[in-house]
């Protein structure tokens, strides 16, 4: 069951601006209560209880999210109001798309797919992607495209919580799923340095540009929305690949 965080209704009466320290803690509270590491599917993964088919289903569906991340970041980039901000943000797109001389995160995820026994073609063709995952990811891209840019930036702050989860996931897979070729863990290894760097940049922007109680609350809500997107993806994957099957 998901934790109980501070509800929007409790915060709508916020009269004074939070200090940077308190604001940061409010954002981190979202992760403590709603991040998808608490989802039953993730818990079973970390217990070594998923089947080969379930692991493959997770990797194949998560690919749709991974390939959409640079699209999301390009949408945010297009709304940033200055070249200085765009220079800071554009590296995220390169991290995932790569360059002609260097592979990025999407390529690394395809290698993970091959490491769990999928072919590159079946991942890219997205035949295993279930409707709930597609809907949730598309909603996130649309959020980044249409919301004020600072809210879209705030939604990316799940990167505050991801390094610990990624580190645990990598170690769990090495130990409890020995059939997975460890050469496929490049994506996880890269994110251990990329995610802290990205979250530092995003948090700095959120703390600097959210200067009213309403702006701060909107940032918290945006991060909660992103956590919901990640959670709903796992709901859809769990339904397609039941834990008790």
Listed in order, strand segments (DSSP E) in the chain are: none
**Alpha-carbon span 223 to 217, nearest angstrom:** 10
The answer to the question of residue 232 being in a domain is yes
For 119-136, letters b (16+ CB in 10 Å) and e give eeeebeeeebbbebbbeb
The answer to the question of residue 9 being in a domain is no
Residue where the block lists tokens 């692991």: 55
The answer to the question of residue 93 being in a domain is yes
The answer to the question of residue 3 being in a domain is no
CB 188 within 8 A of CB 146: no
**CATH number, residue 67:** 1.20.910.10
Domain span holding position 44: 18-240
The domain tally of the chain equals: 1
Q: Give the model's pLDDT for residue 176.
A: 96
In terms of Cα–Cα distance, which of 28, 33, 25 is closest to 7? 33
The mean per-residue pLDDT over the stretch 125-140 comes to 97
**What's the sign of the alpha-carbon dihedral 34, 223, 62, 189?**
negative
Phi and psi torsions of 102, nearest 5°: -150, 130
Q: Give the model's pLDDT for residue 12.
A: 54
The answer to the question of residue 12 being in a domain is no
The answer to the question of residue 68 being in a domain is yes
Q: Give the model's pLDDT for residue 6.
A: 47
The answer to the question of residue 10 being in a domain is no
Taking 80 as the threshold, does the pLDDT of residue 161 lie above it? yes
Please tell me whether the overall predicted TM-score, pTM, comes out greater than 0.85 for this model: yes
CB 5 within 8 A of CB 192: no
**Alpha-carbon span 140 to 161, nearest angstrom:** 18
Q: Give the model's pLDDT for residue 103.
A: 87
Please give the full DSSP string across 154-190, using - where no structure is assigned: HHGGGGGTHHHHHHHHHHHHHHH-TTS-GGGGHHHHH
Which residues have CB under 8 Å from 63's CB, separation 6+?
109, 110, 113, 123, 124, 126, 129
Percentage of the chain beyond pLDDT 70 is 94
5-26 pLDDT, tens digit each: 444 455 555 679 999 999 999 9
The answer to the question of residue 11 being in a domain is no
């Amino acid at each position: 069951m998901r934790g109980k965080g501070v509800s929007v209704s409790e915060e709508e009466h916020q009269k004074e601006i939070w200090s940077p320290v308190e604001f940061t803690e409010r954002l981190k509270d979202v992760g403590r209560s709603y991040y998808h590491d608490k989802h039953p599917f993730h818990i079973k993964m970390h217990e070594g209880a998923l089947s080969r088919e379930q692991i493959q289903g997770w990797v194949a569906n998560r690919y749709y999210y991974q390939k959409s991340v640079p699209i999301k970041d390009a949408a945010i980039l297009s709304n940033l109001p200055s070249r200085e901000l765009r220079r800071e943000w554009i590296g995220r797109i390169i991290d995932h798309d790569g360059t002609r001389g260097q592979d990025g995160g999407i390529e690394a995820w395809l290698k993970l797919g091959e490491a769990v026994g999928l072919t590159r073609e079946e991942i890219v063709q997205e035949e295993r992607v279930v409707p709930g995952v597609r809907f949730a990811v598309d909603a996130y891209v649309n959020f980044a495209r249409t919301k004020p840019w600072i809210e879209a930036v705030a939604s990316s702050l799940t990167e505050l919580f991801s390094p610990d989860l990624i580190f645990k996931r990598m170690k769990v897979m090495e130990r409890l799923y020995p059939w997975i070729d460890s050469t496929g863990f490049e994506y996880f290894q890269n994110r251990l340095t990329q995610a802290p760097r990205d979250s530092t940049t995003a948090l700095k922007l959120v703390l600097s540009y959210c200067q009213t109680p309403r702006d701060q609350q909107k940032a918290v809500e945006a991060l909660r929305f992103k956590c919901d997107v990640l959670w709903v993806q796992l709901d859809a994957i769990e339904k397609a690949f039941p834990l008790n099957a």
